Amino acid sequence: MNKNIRYLFFEFCILNFVFFFPPLGGERGACQQPPQWSQYLFNNYMINPAVGGLKDYMDIKLGYRYQWLGIFDAPPQTMFISIHKPFNLYQEPNEYTKKFNGLGASISKDATGPISNIDLKISYSRHKRLGRKDWASAGIALGVMQFRLNAGGLIAAPPGDPDLLDPDVRSISAFAPDIQGGVWFTGERYFAGASVYQIFPMPLGGTRSKLSHHYYFMGGYKHSYNPWWAIIPMAEIKNGVMTPFTFDVNANVEYINKYPGALEKVWGGIGYRKGDAIVLNIGTVIGYIEVGYAFDYTLSGLRRYSSNTHEIIIGFRYTKIEREPRCPAWG
């Protein structure tokens, strides 16, 4: 690791350390940044609990994101597993007033050098038909977060400079409850939703720090050229009390297979994240398996030290009965 990268790594760790645990430096803080995902449409349940159970099958997903590959010995890494399914399905005499519920759970880990957090949540959602193919959903997720700082993993730069690392800094493990809520609207050609992390800001146990609100807004439209091909422009906006406003804009081209066989659809697209990256993504659904991959081409100054970001998500669909789909693929 050369001198410039050591400085960068040290600065990155200290900034995160000050944001997560500022009381050790004297001031009270209120910051927590949820994990970043490039495939936010494919992975929308992890962002908005209202999506849980909206599909006609049990949805299981596993994801892994390896960020800024090669920038230092322990680059940011994020992983998750989620599961959600509908329950209490029933057919009312008037199909336009059909209602049902969804249940789900997830666990994720986000780690950057000596700093990591684990997030465990369970969710409940309620779905109501607004029209023949239009649905409104609301959901809530309850959980707990664990934040950890391994002081032994902090690196002074240049090596041996005692002025850059406070000898009183100690390893920390802190817990905080979390409540997340969201709403979701979907139809044959559109989707839109909003969600909030940390609805009620909670203190981190054992510190004077406090979690803060984070807001997510997502929407898109599906334009079909014919029964086989469609383009889906979409956007995600993110904002936090103590984090900068940012957004992603994407456009995916989707091929829907109308012929007999296991292949259901294939997609690919390009996107841009404000001041951070150009994103390329591809994916497919074959039988009961979904696979999505995203590549982030770094645009910021970190480009000089890293070889970009890779993200993969694998999904499994499980169902015992066949039903007519209630909503488009964005669920």
Separation CA 48–CA 61 (nearest Å) = 15
- Among 222, 250, 124, 105, which residue's Cα sits nearest to residue 182? 124
Q: Chain-wide mean pLDDT for the chain?
A: 80
Q: What average pLDDT does the segment 28-52 reach?
A: 81
Q: Which tokens in the block code for residue 217?
A: 């807004």
The secondary structure element, H or E, covering residue 217 is: strand 214-221
Please indicate whether residue 149 or residue 91 has the higher confidence score (pLDDT).
149
pLDDT digits (tens, 9 = 90+) for 299-309: 877 666 667 89
Whether pLDDT at 221 is above 60: yes
Task: Let me know how many helices (H) and strands (E) the chain has, helices first.
Answer: 1, 15
Only one residue has tokens 């929407």, namely 219
The pLDDT of residue 211 is: 75
The pLDDT of residue 259 is: 84
Which of 55-64, 195-204, 225-234 has the lowest average pLDDT? 195-204
For 267, residues 6+ apart whose C-beta sits below 8 A from its C-beta are: 232, 252, 253, 254, 255, 281, 282, 283, 284
Q: Which tokens in the block code for residue 115?
A: 């700093």
- Per-residue pLDDT band for 162 (boundaries 50, 70, 90) equals low
Number of Cβ atoms within 10 Å of the Cβ of 94: 8
Which of 185-189, 203-207, 244-248, 284-288 has the lowest average pLDDT? 203-207
- Per-residue pLDDT band for 28 (boundaries 50, 70, 90) equals very low
Q: What does the radius of gyration of the chain's CA atoms come to, in whole angstroms?
A: 21
Whether pLDDT at 108 is above 70: yes
Separation CA 195–CA 238 (nearest Å) = 10
For 99, residues 6+ apart whose C-beta sits below 8 A from its C-beta are: 92, 126, 127, 128, 129
pLDDT digits (tens, 9 = 90+) for 249-299: 999 999 999 887 788 999 999 999 998 899 999 999 999 999 999 999 988
* Helical residues (DSSP H) of the chain, grouped into ranges: 3-20
Number of Cβ atoms within 10 Å of the Cβ of 161: 10
In CATH, the number for domain 3-318 is: 2.40.160.40
Whether pLDDT at 311 is above 90: yes
Q: Which tokens in the block code for residue 200?
A: 């009620």
- Per-residue pLDDT band for 119 (boundaries 50, 70, 90) equals very high
The pLDDT of residue 90 is: 56
The pLDDT of residue 169 is: 59
* pLDDT over 70 percentage in the chain: 72
Whether pLDDT at 141 is above 90: yes
The pLDDT of residue 317 is: 93
